[in-house]
Amino acid sequence: MLVDNRRGLVVSGCLLAGAVLVSVLYLLPATRPAVQAVDDAVERFALAIENRPTTVVAVGLSWLGSAVVNWPLRVAALVLLAWRRHWLRLAAFGLAVLSSELLIGVVKSAVDRPRPSGSLIATTGAAFPSGHAIATAVTAVGLVLVLAPPGRQRWRWELRAVEFTAVMALSRVYLRAHWLSDTLAGALLGAGLALGWPALLMALRHRRDARAPTA
């Protein structure tokens, strides 16, 4: 899955650390006002540029990041990996999906942040972190890692996955379904899990192979 699992672990660690940093900055009373000030400024900008065509596009992007789209893609990928007997890739993607889904509920309940007022679409639950951003990052980045062979072509697909995750996350901010910091923490967390599990499983396999006696 990865050319260099050590580099994968480092990048994953940086992404997860970024998600933790955004979370801490919001949770700490000393820094929360600064985070909210940035979020408020972005919300005012979204209100200023609101128009019908952009809203239609944003709603479509939000739908693409929903469970209705994410789960069929995930199930199809897991079935394909099982059919091909790519067990390590199957485990990596499955663990990324499972851990992300567990964390969404746990973190949302712990932080319990109110959503922005006047959302343009229906929303449920707390705001932080964005479940759409987490799920999209896990699905988009994870699918490329476990399905595409390493090389330049996969790197291009990874960039597209990151770009789509970012645009989808911004659509949620535009629709006032989330604050900017919600989507930033969610995207970092999802991408970190999608990359971290393959890197971790590959590192464990390499360590096992290194310890195995040679014939």
Interval 34-67: pLDDT, tens: 999 999 999 999 999 999 999 999 999 999 988 8
The answer to the question of residue 49 being in a domain is: no
Tally of structural domains, the chain: 1
The answer to the question of residue 176 being in a domain is: yes
Separation CA 162–CA 208 (nearest Å): 32
Q: Calculate what percentage of the chain has a pLDDT beyond 70.
A: 97
The answer to the question of residue 46 being in a domain is: no
The answer to the question of residue 214 being in a domain is: no
Please compute, for residue 90, the number of CA atoms within 13 A of its CA located in the half-sphere on the CB side. 12
The answer to the question of residue 9 being in a domain is: yes
Cis peptide before 116 (omega within 30 of 0): no
Interval 174-212: pLDDT, tens: 999 999 999 999 999 999 999 999 889 988 887 777 776
Nearest to 102 by CA among 135, 74, 63: 135
Quote the strand ranges of the chain, DSSP E. Answer: none
The answer to the question of residue 112 being in a domain is: yes
Which uninterrupted H or E stretch holds 15?
helix 5-27
- Residue 159 three-state SS: helix
| CA 72 to the chain's CA centroid | 17
Q: 130: which residues sit within 8 A by CB, 6+ positions away? A: 169, 172, 178, 182, 183, 185, 186, 187
Separation CA 206–CA 27 (nearest Å): 39
What integer pLDDT is reported at residue 134 of this predicted model? 94
What integer pLDDT is reported at residue 213 of this predicted model? 66
What integer pLDDT is reported at residue 214 of this predicted model? 57
Mean pLDDT, the chain, whole residue set: 90
What integer pLDDT is reported at residue 100 of this predicted model? 93
The answer to the question of residue 44 being in a domain is: no
What integer pLDDT is reported at residue 212 of this predicted model? 66
Contacts 24+ apart (CB under 8 A), 140-143: 140/164, 140/165, 141/165, 141/190, 141/191, 141/194, 141/195, 142/77, 142/92, 142/93, 142/96, 142/97, 142/194, 143/73, 143/77, 143/93
* Minimum mean pLDDT range among 94-103, 105-114, 145-154: 145-154
The answer to the question of residue 43 being in a domain is: no
- Domain membership of residue 170 as a residue range: 5-29+54-197
